[in-house]
A and B are shown apart, each in its own frame.
Chain A
Amino acid sequence: MTASSPVLDIQGLTVRLPAGADRLNAVEDVSFAVGPGEIVCVVGESGSGKSVTAHSIMGLLPPGQLTPTAGRILLEGDDLLRKSPAALRALRGHRMAMIFQEPMTALNPVMRVGEQIEEVLAIHTRFDAAARRQRVLDVMRSVHLPDVERLIDAYPHQLSGGQRQRIMIAAALVLDPVLLIADEPTTALDVTTQAQILKLIKELQSRRKTGVLFITHDFGVVAEIAHRVVVMQNGRVVEQGRAEDVLRRPRHAYTRMLIRAVPTLTPPQRAPTGQVPIVLEARQLAKTYVIGGFLGRRREVKAAVNVNLAVRRGETLGVVGESGSGKSTVARCIARLIEPSAGAILLEGTDVAKLTTGALRPHRKRVQIVFQDPYRSLNPRRTVGASIIEGPMNFGVPREAALARARELMRLVDLDPDALSRYPHQFSGGQRQRLCIARALALEPEILIADEAVSALDVSVQAQVLQLLDDVRRRFNLALLFITHDLRVAAQVCDRIVVMQNGEIVEEGVTAEIFRNPRHPYTRALFEAAPGRAFAFGAFETD
């Protein structure tokens, strides 16, 4: 830690949960400090209390639901928990600022981005309009936004995800706060964008000597930027120390487990699949969206162009790319959730690309998808049992048989068969993703598409679900099409990989080969952007 006194000093913070929650306190006896010019990463899985801690500092806890009951939060020596709402408001945005996970939703969609930065100045300063505009332009330049004179009047939806997060950072830093709280600021971003935003945060905090409290679940990010690390589990701090020490010589079992669960960028040895038959093949697949027309300006968006891929029985093909690369479009075309504009989709030789709804029906069950967000892909008003048996019953399986099969599948995905009568909200995220897998398997598909199926999960849960997907692939000899933006995950489960950029496949090959020797510049850029790539997770030193 630096010699000067900390900008943020949390001592024994305890926050009470509302009655009836699964534990008494959201966070309990949490103590740590952030020095000036220091980046402290708070790491933990969902439910660890890391976000509650951050929101306590800002005074943004939902009133009446979460109440700090003990401890002190000192910002430059001043106890924030004893401040009046008005005094806290005066500090927020001025001495301490916060940026959030989703730059998509964290900005007001009906306000120009310039206004949203300017708002901070309007609240906390007496600058006139011209001076405010000048400050806004300056801070927009300092976060390296291009063409700021034009962007200042843009609306959030006209900006890319990375640009939006830069706007958030600009609004947070415009008054040079002593403390910046970043709550998973790069989680929703693409890897290459994430790398740029991390670099920007590092650059700004070292120039301005801002103390940064960085909340993340991603050890790759920790390895990239942290000076010190605080590990939280179930509302308590289980370990803290210098980043180097915690990453290389973790003392607590939970820290070790978390770090071990980070998939490595080195693909494990996989047996070659050999000359088994191809079950799924896409030939010159294309999808073009047409926007506008009839007096409006007509625009064409090519979401997928000339995509050729083939998956063999029992094989996992990874489709890797960033948002907008067309990977999900390809998945949706193959499952015929959307109609491709051109090309062929061969399911064991039958072209289903242009089949009508009726003719397509018998083929529907052969391709099943598991989606990214397990919270939104199960109908909240139906029991999970009803969701699982719906598909087979649509294809004429009697109810009793479908239910018996559902119980079997529940055991297969490691859930209690008696839980079939429960509703989705009674399950955790990882359990819900298991349910989604069970639902997909109920139709006995030949091809399973996992569309970012583990992206929304905590690392430890992610590892389990990946294991499960690999198990069912082997057990049912499924062809698995694995869509992901995460190279680490792709390295672990894929036999072969195709890399997509702007709707096209730019590189394809055997996983180990691509990781050893990426040829396309874009693939190389993806590798370089992977956070913590220089760090071998789980190779602990014993002291």
Chain B
Amino acid sequence: MLAFVVQRVLATIPVMGVVAFVVFLLLRLSPGDPAAVIAGDYATAEQVERIRAQLGLNLPIYSQFFTWLGQILRGDLGVSIFSNLPVTTLIAQRIEPTLMLALTTIVFSIVVAVPLGVLAAWKANSWIDRAVMMFAVIGFSVPVFVLGYFLIYGFALGLNWFPVQGYRSPFDSPAAFLHHIALPTLTLSAIFIALIARITRATVLEVLSEDYIRTARAKGQSERKVLFRHALKNAAVPIVTVIGLGVALLIGGVVVTESVFNIPGLGRLVVDAILKRDYPIIQGLILFFSFIYIVLNLLIDIAYTLLDPRIRY
């Protein structure tokens, strides 16, 4: 087991290297000169050139890459071109709301979707099943921002149950945090509930026709335990896979949701940085998200071996 984890961790190193290279190249090759942007509309060619030299943009591209790589390895993601603050500081400032929103979304989605999916599989082709699947189709099809504004209109403006926008830290006030995070979580969860419920239904349905389910019933096991003890654990691998993929997709949804609910998180940082062509921030964030994604994949792989004793690498 330990050997497996070590092996997987080692395997992520080249992946990170490739990611770093691609991120670096992608931005250098995209049009637009940040030096010109910083210098402003009325700058002379000399001024632009001076700024370029300051940023190291006049060096050959490979030496820019290795300088940058060396910095990352020391935990230095560079300095924002516009605010002059270190990128790590900027990320640290903004990470909490994003992390919290992602966390509440994932927990809420799993807690709602897995039982729904199991229920739909158990009652396959009944009205319950059809209702769950209809909800899944709606969850898939409604765009995040439409659902967000719809919920704000109904529950914040109409019923006045929740605040329209903003964020409170759970470390200051857990109640205020929950109050503020409820609608964003609901908004962002819809699509994941739909996704996870569908996969859960499909895999549990398949597992329910297996022989060992009949064996469990032949032992006199109750339906509830047949479903959750026997069926769900066997269906776990595809469900965990889709949850892991869901977390990765979450990053895109977070950007939109943070804009709708005016939450000062990483999503907003990304949007602002792209609009200003603030290379260090963009690079830093892509690297940061890639790192999270790789760690996530590692966790999923480890989860497989815990869930299914037949899986050994």
Q: Which residue of A lies closest to B3 (CB)?
A: A295
Q: Say whether, besides A155-B309, A155-B310, A108 and B219 are in contact (CB < 8 Å).
A: no
A102:B219 contact, CB within 8 angstroms: no
Q: Which of B212, B220, B310 contacts A107 (CB 8 A)?
A: B212
In whole angstroms, what is the CA distance A119 to B216 when docked?
Answer: 9
Q: Say whether, besides A109-B212, A295-B7, A98 and B218 are in contact (CB < 8 Å).
A: yes
B219:A92 contact, CB within 8 angstroms: yes
Tell me which residues across on chain A come within 8 A of B313, comparing CB atoms.
296
Q: Which residue of A lies closest to B308 (CB)?
A: A110
Tell me which residues across on chain B come within 8 A of A107, comparing CB atoms.
212, 215
B215:A90 contact, CB within 8 angstroms: no
Q: Which of A60, A124, A155 contacts B217 (CB 8 A)?
A: A60
In whole angstroms, what is the CA distance A171 to B221 when docked?
Answer: 13
Q: Which of B7, B230, B236 contacts A108 (CB 8 A)?
A: B230
In whole angstroms, what is the CA distance A295 to B234 when docked?
Answer: 28
A108:B214 contact, CB within 8 angstroms: no
B212:A92 contact, CB within 8 angstroms: no
Chain B contact residues: helix, strand, loop or mixed: helix
A60:B218 contact, CB within 8 angstroms: yes
B310:A105 contact, CB within 8 angstroms: no
Q: Which of B210, B217, B309, B310 contacts A92 (CB 8 A)?
A: B217
In whole angstroms, what is the CA distance A100 to B212 when docked?
Answer: 10
Render B231-253 as a binary contact track against A, CB cut-off 8 A, 1 for contact: 00110100000000000000000
In whole angstroms, what is the CA distance A93 to B212 when docked?
Answer: 14
Q: Which residue of A lies closest to B311 (CB)?
A: A110
Tell me which residues across on chain A come within 8 A of B212, comparing CB atoms.
105-109
Q: Which residue of B lies closest to A158 (CB)?
A: B309
In whole angstroms, what is the CA distance A124 to B221 when docked?
Answer: 9
Q: Which of B215, B222, B230, B307 contacts A89 (CB 8 A)?
A: B222
In whole angstroms, what is the CA distance A123 to B236 when docked?
Answer: 24
Tell me which residues across on chain B come within 8 A of A123, comparing CB atoms.
219-222
> Does B211 lie at the interface of the complex (its beta carbon under 8 Å from any beta carbon of A)?
yes
Q: Which residue of B lies closest to A91 (CB)?
A: B220
In whole angstroms, what is the CA distance A156 to B163 when docked?
Answer: 54
Render B287-313 as a binary contact track against A, CB cut-off 8 A, 1 for contact: 000000000000000000001111001
In whole angstroms, what is the CA distance A119 to B226 when docked?
Answer: 11
A-contacting residues, B198-222, CB 8 Å: 210-212, 214-222
Q: Which residue of A lies closest to B210 (CB)?
A: A105
> Does A305 lie at the interface of the complex (its beta carbon under 8 Å from any beta carbon of B)?
no
> Does A97 lie at the interface of the complex (its beta carbon under 8 Å from any beta carbon of B)?
yes
In whole angstroms, what is the CA distance A94 to B220 when docked?
Answer: 8
Render B150-164 as a binary contact track against A, CB cut-off 8 A, 1 for contact: 000000000000000
Tell me which residues across on chain A come within 8 A of B230, comparing CB atoms.
108, 111
In whole angstroms, what is the CA distance A105 to B234 when docked?
Answer: 12
Q: Which residue of A lies closest to B221 (CB)?
A: A123
In whole angstroms, what is the CA distance A98 to B278 when docked?
Answer: 69
> Does A197 lie at the interface of the complex (its beta carbon under 8 Å from any beta carbon of B)?
no
Tell me which residues across on chain B come within 8 A of A111, comparing CB atoms.
230, 233
Tell me which residues across on chain B come within 8 A of A497, comparing CB atoms.
none
Q: Say whether, besides A100-B211, A295-B3, A295-B7, A109 and B310 are in contact (CB < 8 Å).
A: yes
B307:A110 contact, CB within 8 angstroms: yes
> Does A354 lie at the interface of the complex (its beta carbon under 8 Å from any beta carbon of B)?
no
Q: Which of A94, A108, A124, A155 contacts B234 (CB 8 A)?
A: A108
Q: Say whether, besides A108-B230, A108-B234, A93 and B219 are in contact (CB < 8 Å).
A: yes
Tell me which residues across on chain B come within 8 A of A168, comparing CB atoms.
215
> Does A304 lie at the interface of the complex (its beta carbon under 8 Å from any beta carbon of B)?
no
Q: Which residue of B lies closest to A98 (CB)?
A: B218
Tell me which residues across on chain A come within 8 A of B218, comparing CB atoms.
58, 60, 92-93, 97-98
Q: How far is the CB of B8 from chain A (nearest CB, A)?
A: 10
> Does A39 lie at the interface of the complex (its beta carbon under 8 Å from any beta carbon of B)?
no
B-contacting residues, A79-129, CB 8 Å: 89-94, 97-98, 100, 102, 105-111, 116, 119-120, 123-124
Q: How far is the CB of A64 from chain B (nearest CB, A)?
A: 10
B215:A109 contact, CB within 8 angstroms: no
Most buried by A among B7, B210, B215, B220: B220
B219:A106 contact, CB within 8 angstroms: no
B220:A93 contact, CB within 8 angstroms: yes
In whole angstroms, what is the CA distance A171 to B217 when docked?
Answer: 13
Tell me which residues across on chain B come within 8 A of A105, comparing CB atoms.
210-212
B309:A120 contact, CB within 8 angstroms: no
> Does A251 lie at the interface of the complex (its beta carbon under 8 Å from any beta carbon of B)?
no
Tell me which residues across on chain B come within 8 A of A91, comparing CB atoms.
220
In whole angstroms, what is the CA distance A97 to B310 when docked?
Answer: 28
B214:A157 contact, CB within 8 angstroms: no
Tell me which residues across on chain A come within 8 A of B221, comparing CB atoms.
89, 93, 119, 123
In whole angstroms, what is the CA distance A234 to B130 when docked?
Answer: 37
Q: Which residue of A lies closest to B307 (CB)?
A: A110
In whole angstroms, what is the CA distance A412 to B220 when docked?
Answer: 51
Q: Which of B211, B217, B233 contacts A110 (CB 8 A)?
A: B233
A89:B234 contact, CB within 8 angstroms: no
Q: Say whether, besides A108-B234, A157-B309, A295-B7, A119 and B219 are in contact (CB < 8 Å).
A: yes
Q: Which residue of B lies closest to A94 (CB)?
A: B220
Q: How far is the CB of A28 from chain B (nearest CB, A)?
A: 24
B309:A106 contact, CB within 8 angstroms: no
In whole angstroms, what is the CA distance A123 to B7 when docked?
Answer: 42
Q: Which residue of A lies closest to B209 (CB)?
A: A62
In whole angstroms, what is the CA distance A111 to B310 when docked?
Answer: 11
A109:B220 contact, CB within 8 angstroms: no
Tell me which residues across on chain A come within 8 A of B308, comparing CB atoms.
109-110
Q: How far is the CB of A145 from chain B (nearest CB, A)?
A: 18
In whole angstroms, what is the CA distance A111 to B234 when docked?
Answer: 9
Q: How far is the CB of B12 from chain A (nearest CB, A)?
A: 14
A100:B214 contact, CB within 8 angstroms: yes
Render A468-505 as a binary contact track against B, CB cut-off 8 A, 1 for contact: 00000000000000000000000000000000000000
In whole angstroms, what is the CA distance A133 to B229 when docked?
Answer: 19
Q: Say whether, besides A105-B210, A106-B214, A120 and B220 are in contact (CB < 8 Å).
A: yes
In whole angstroms, what is the CA distance A93 to B216 when docked?
Answer: 9
A-contacting residues, B1-50, CB 8 Å: 3, 7
Q: Say whether, besides A105-B211, A109-B310, A295-B3, A124 and B233 are in contact (CB < 8 Å).
A: no
| 10 further contact pairs, Cβ within 8 A, besides A97-B219, A106-B211, A109-B309 | A58-B218, A97-B218, A105-B212, A106-B215, A110-B233, A110-B236, A110-B307, A119-B219, A123-B220, A295-B3
5 residue pairs from A and B, CB less than 8 Å apart: A92-B217, A93-B218, A106-B211, A108-B230, A296-B3
Residue positions of B touching A, CB distance < 8 A:
3, 7, 210-212, 214-222, 230, 233-234, 236, 307-310, 313
Q: Which 3 A-B pairs have the closest CB atoms?
A: A92-B220, A93-B219, A93-B220
